[in-house]
């Protein structure tokens, strides 16, 4: 609670106490009138007279307590507001800048003067500010509206120049800005949570002295019954953990999950995990079946009547049958279907006309033949009404899109939605299909409104490609649809050569291996090879670092190590990565700018790998990669 709120609450409590004290001094100290204590004008709550108009423990009525961050005003609990704000309809607002309560609670600005400045309604916001809902804000510095209205920075973030940043020493994680050195929820890396009782010290989770991290909690392996001597080693019920060892009561032994008496325990008869058959007893460590039964492994059985052991151990009778004098029998009119079940073939839907001939779901068996109800057809595994069934609409096995209905054999999506790849979606609000099927707003969007992507973090809506960072996206560099070349990258809205390449004659070249521009633009090696920026005689394979001939004339030497990261020769000669891909471990992987982040790790990347773009330091998210380029 802020100091201003503390002061307001303290003042109200003091005033209430003084009022009560003055009343008491005036002779109203709970006078007993014969019918009970008289507290007027206050209220008797228990043994005390209180002012229910202002008492936070008895607000409006006895024992109705306000929350710690609230005060009692006029017999109602209200939020305590920080300095400069006023409680209007249970919300703290700034009467100087809120267009819903401009100058006074409930005084809303109209359409002619929609902005509130210094407590007065005006036609527009001051220079440098934009109206976002009821407020005039600076999109360059407002953390709740950074770069665009409602473009909120992550918790703890700040807005600098219209871009979200974390304070010095912190990084952007999924839950907000975090100091990886001390944050127990993000210790050493985003999302790495320390266990219960642990602390984060220099980015490493540590348990108190004498304890060890087990299953998300710090425990003492010498005494913890769930982790006795080692993580996950639980003691049996009733057995304490002493000096890291489970100790069973006298006369019992530790059988892993329980302490057992091997002389009488039917689950551990004569030894741990030696169960007696069902129905047997354990006497002096030996299993014994009752008289008239035999040990059939899993149970003591009467072979003359046991359904599972009829006439002999393991000889089971079919379901629905009986065992009589050691012989399996089915009821009259039923047949034995291969020892599995007794069935009446004329009416059994699972055995209709023959054993195991199943009727479709919803069907019936009549005189040994499967029939579907009137108006339905047999669609193999089910009877279906092809006029209304969304899984068999018009014909069997014709599935309607998710969310659609089947009407007169035709699939129909609800009003306001369309079929997008087997699912009914609202193109006005679906961020994966915003305005048209397949037009995804991407990760830098707050949502889809009216078929338009609501972009965050200073990005722009580039139609079917969603929200894009025009300062860093090579497919939308400086403007939507402005593609950079495959050998270029987007730097502050301008297509430039990828790091490691240099501009030359209107294109970008690799000065380390280009025999026509070896070490610099226009430096032709003649008949020699270009190796690591130098013209040399001899074959590429004969050099100190193994290299490949990556030129039809065999004069461009690209080292095998360089092929792990070179976007022009990624994994092999002349395997060029596209403009929106980087070369990671010899594979071309798609990437996108990590717009709100200035360093890794970055929660914006979600499950993708956060990396620095090679040679530039810009933060990117690489899809599907396990190592950064």
* DSSP 8-state symbol, 117: E
Residue reference for tokens 């460590």: 285
Among the ranges given (28-42, 50-64, 254-268, 298-312), the one the predictor scored with the smallest mean pLDDT: 28-42
Task: Give the three-state DSSP class for 464.
Answer: helix
Which 3 state secondary structure label does DSSP give 124? Answer: coil
The CA radius of gyration of the chain, in Å to the nearest whole number, is 40
The CA distance from 126 to 141, in Å, is 15
Integer CA distances (angstroms), 309 to 11, 62, 232, 334, in order: 86, 73, 41, 21
- Render 349-392 in DSSP notation, one character per residue: TTSSSSTT-PPPBT-EEETTEEEPPTT-EE-SSBEE-TTT-TTS
Phi/psi for 146 (5° steps) reads -95, 110
Alpha-carbon distance values, 215 to 200, 201, 205, 385 (Å): 17, 19, 13, 53
How does pLDDT run across 96-154, given as a tens digit for each residue? Answer: 888 889 999 889 988 888 889 999 998 889 998 888 888 888 888 888 888 778 877 87
Distance (Å, whole) CA 27 – CA 235? 69
- pLDDT tens sequence across 325-364: 999 999 999 999 999 999 999 999 999 999 999 999 999 9
At 493-544, the pLDDT tens digits run 899 888 888 899 988 888 888 888 889 999 988 878 888 888 888 777 777 7
Number of neighbours of residue 446 by Cβ within 10 angstroms: 18
Evaluate whether 599 touches 190 at the Cβ level (below 8 Å).
Answer: no
Least confident of 217-221, 412-416, 556-560: 556-560
Q: Which residues contact 352 (CB under 8 A, 6 or more apart)?
A: 345, 358, 359, 365, 368, 369, 370
Tell me the three-class secondary structure of 318-357, residue by residue.
CECCEEECCEEECCCCCEEECCCEEECCCCCCCCCCCCCC
Question: Half-sphere exposure of residue 574, counting CA atoms within 13 Å on the CB side?
Answer: 7
Number of other CB atoms surrounding residue 557 within 10 Å: 29
Question: Which residues are CB-neighbours of 26 under 8 A, at least 6 positions away?
Answer: none
Please state, in angstroms and rounded to a whole number, the distance separating the CA atoms of residues 413 and 276: 61
SS3 assignment, position 18: helix
């Amino acid at each position: 609670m802020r100091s201003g709120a503390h002061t307001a609450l303290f003042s109200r409590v003091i005033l209430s106490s003084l009022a009560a004290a003055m009343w008491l001094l005036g002779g109203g100290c709970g006078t007993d009138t014969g019918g009970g204590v008289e507290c007027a004008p206050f209220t008797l709550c228990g043994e005390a007279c209180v002012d229910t108009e202002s008492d936070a423990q008895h607000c409006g009525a006895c024992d109705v307590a306000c929350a710690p961050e609230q005060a009692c005003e006029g017999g109602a609990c209200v939020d305590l507001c920080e300095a400069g704000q006023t409680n209007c309809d249970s919300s703290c607002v700034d009467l100087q800048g809120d267009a819903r309560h401009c100058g006074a609670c409930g005084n809303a600005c109209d359409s002619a003067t929609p902005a509130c400045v210094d407590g007065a309604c005006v036609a527009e916001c001051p220079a440098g500010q934009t109206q976002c809902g009821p407020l005039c804000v600076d999109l360059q510095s407002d953390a709740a509206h950074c770069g665009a209205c409602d473009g909120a920075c992550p918790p703890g973030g700040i807005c600098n120049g219209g871009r979200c940043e974390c304070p010095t020493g912190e990084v952007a994680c999924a839950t907000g800005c975090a100091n990886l050195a001390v944050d127990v929820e993000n210790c050493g890396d985003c999302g790495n949570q320390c266990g219960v009782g642990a602390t984060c010290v220099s980015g490493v989770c540590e348990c108190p002295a004498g304890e060890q991290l087990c299953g998300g909690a710090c425990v003492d392996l010498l005494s913890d019954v769930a982790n006795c001597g080692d993580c996950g080693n639980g003691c049996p019920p009733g057995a304490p953990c002493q000096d890291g060892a489970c100790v069973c009561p006298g006369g019992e032994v530790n059988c892993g999950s329980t302490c057992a008496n091997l002389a009488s325990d039917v689950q551990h008869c004569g030894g741990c995990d030696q169960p007696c058959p069902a129905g047997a007893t354990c006497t002096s460590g030996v299993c014994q079946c009752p008289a008239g039964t035999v040990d059939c492994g899993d149970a003591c059985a009467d072979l003359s009547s046991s359904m599972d052991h009829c006439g002999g151990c393991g000889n089971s009778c079919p379901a629905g049958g009986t065992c009589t004098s050691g012989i399996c029998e089915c009821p009259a009119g039923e047949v034995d279907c291969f020892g599995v079940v007794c069935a009446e073939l004329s009416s059994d839907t699972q055995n209709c006309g023959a054993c195991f001939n199943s009727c479709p779901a919803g069907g019936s068996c009549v005189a040994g033949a499967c029939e579907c109800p009137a108006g339905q057809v047999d669609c193999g595994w089910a009877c279906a009404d092809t006029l209304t069934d969304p899984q068999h609409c018009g014909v069997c096995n014709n599935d309607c899109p998710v969310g659609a209905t089947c009407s007169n054999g035709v699939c129909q999506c609800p009003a306001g939605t369309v079929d997008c790849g087997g699912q009914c979606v609202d193109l006005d609000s679906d961020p994966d299909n915003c305005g048209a099927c397949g037009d995804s707003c991407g990760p830098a969007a707050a949502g889809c409104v009216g078929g338009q992507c609501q972009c965050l973090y200073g990005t722009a809506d580039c139609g079917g490609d969603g929200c894009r960072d025009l300062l860093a996206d090579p497919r939308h560099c400086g403007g939507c649809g402005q593609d950079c070349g495959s050998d270029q990258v987007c730097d502050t809205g301008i297509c430039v050569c990828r790091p490691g390449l240099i501009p030359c004659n209107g294109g970008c070249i690799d000065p380390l291996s280009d025999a026509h521009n070896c070490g610099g633009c226009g430096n032709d090696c003649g008949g020699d090879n270009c190796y690591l920026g130098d013209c040399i005689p001899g074959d590429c394979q004969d050099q100190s670092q193994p290299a490949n001939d990556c030129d039809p004339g065999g004069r461009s030497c690209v080292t095998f190590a360089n092929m792990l990261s070179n976007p022009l020769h990624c994994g092999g000669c002349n395997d060029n990565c596209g403009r929106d891909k980087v070369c990671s471990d010899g594979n071309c992987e798609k990437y996108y700018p990590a717009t709100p982040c200035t360093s890794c790790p970055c929660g914006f990347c979600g499950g993708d790998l956060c990396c620095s773009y090679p040679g530039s330091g810009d933060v990117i998210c690489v899809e599907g990669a396990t190592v950064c380029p």
